[in-house]
A and B are shown apart, each in its own frame.
With several copies, the nearest count.
Chain A
Amino acid sequence: MTMETTEVTADLSTGQRLALLREMILIRTFEEAVLREYHADKSPGFDIGKGLIPGEMHLSAGQEPVAAGLCAHLETGDALTATHRPHHLAIAKGMDLRSLAGEIFGRESGLGHGRGGHMHLFDPATHFSCSGIVAEGFPAALGQAFAFQRAGTSNVAAAVAGEGAANAGPFHESLNLAALWKLPVIFVIEDNDWGISVARNASTSVPTNAVRAAGYGMPGVRVEGNDVEAVHAAAGEAVARARAGGGPSLIEVHTLRLWGHFEGDAQGYRPELADVPGRDPIPAYQRKLRDAGLLSEADLAEMEGEARTRVEDAVEHAKAAPAPNPAEALKYVFVEGE
Chain B
Amino acid sequence: MSISTGTARARQSLPVEPEAGSRRLNTAKALQEAIGSQMEQDDSVFVMGEDVAAYGGIFSSTTGLLEKFGPQRIIDTPISESAFIGLGIGAAVEGMRPIVELMFVDFFGVCMDQIYNHMAKIHYESGGNVRVPMVLMTAVGGGYSDGAQHSQTLWGTFAHLPGMKVVVPSNPYDAKGLMTAAIRSDDPVVYMFHKGVMGLAWMAKNRRSIGAVPEQDYVVPIGKAKVVREGSDVSLVTLSLSVHHSLDVAEQLAGEGISVEVLDLRSLVPLDREAVIATATKTGKVIVVDEDYQSFGLSGEIAATIAEHDPALLKHFSRVCVPDVPIPYARELEYAVLPTAARIEAAVRTAVTA
Contacts and interface: CB of A to CB of B under 8 A. Distances in A.
Contacts of B270: 338
A301 interface: no
Interface string A117-151: 11110111101010111111011111111111010
Give the contact-size bracket for chain B.
35 or more
Contacts, number: 304
Contacts of B304: none
Q: Quick one: which of B84, B91, B131, B162 has the most chain A CB within 10 A?
A: B91
A116 B55 contact: no
Given A129-B1, A143-B91, A55 B129 contact: no
A279 interface: no
Among A141, A197, A325, A328, the most chain B Cβ lie within 10 Å of the Cβ of: A197
Interface in B70-114: 72, 76-96, 98, 106-107, 109-110, 113-114
Interface stretch (A8-16, A45-53, A251-259, A285-293): A45-53
Contact of A124 (B2, B89, B202): B2
A204 B145 contact: no
Nearest to B120: A333
Contacts of B123: 332-335
Contacts of B51: 196-198
Interface stretch (A22-30, A107-115, A218-226): A107-115
A56 B330 contact: no
Contacts of A94: none
Contacts of B165: 334
Specify the main secondary structure of chain B where it touches its partner.
Answer: loop
Interface stretch (B16-24, B168-176, B250-258, B332-340): B332-340
A192 interface: no
B278 to A, nearest CB: 18
A174 to B, nearest CB: 5
B10 interface: no
Contact of B144 (A54, A180, A195): A54
Interface stretch (B146-154, B209-217, B306-314): B146-154
A329 B337 contact: yes
Contact of A56 (B87, B146, B325): B146
Interface in B129-159: 129-131, 143-150
Interface residues of A, number: 86
Contacts of A140: 86-87, 89-90, 93, 118
Contacts of A174: 80, 83, 86
B186 interface: yes
A208 B104 CA distance: 28
Contacts of B177: none
Interface stretch (A61-69, A165-173, A234-242, A304-312): A165-173
Contacts of A323: 330-332
Given A112-B127, A122-B130, A180-B78, A133 B107 contact: yes
A125 B129 CA distance: 10
A170 to B, nearest CB: 5
B72 to A, nearest CB: 8
Given A115-B127, A143-B87, A329-B333, 4 more contacts: A50-B204, A136-B82, A165-B79, A198-B77
15 contacts: A47-B204, A49-B143, A106-B145, A115-B124, A119-B147, A127-B94, A129-B1, A135-B79, A136-B86, A143-B98, A164-B78, A180-B78, A197-B54, A269-B55, A324-B328
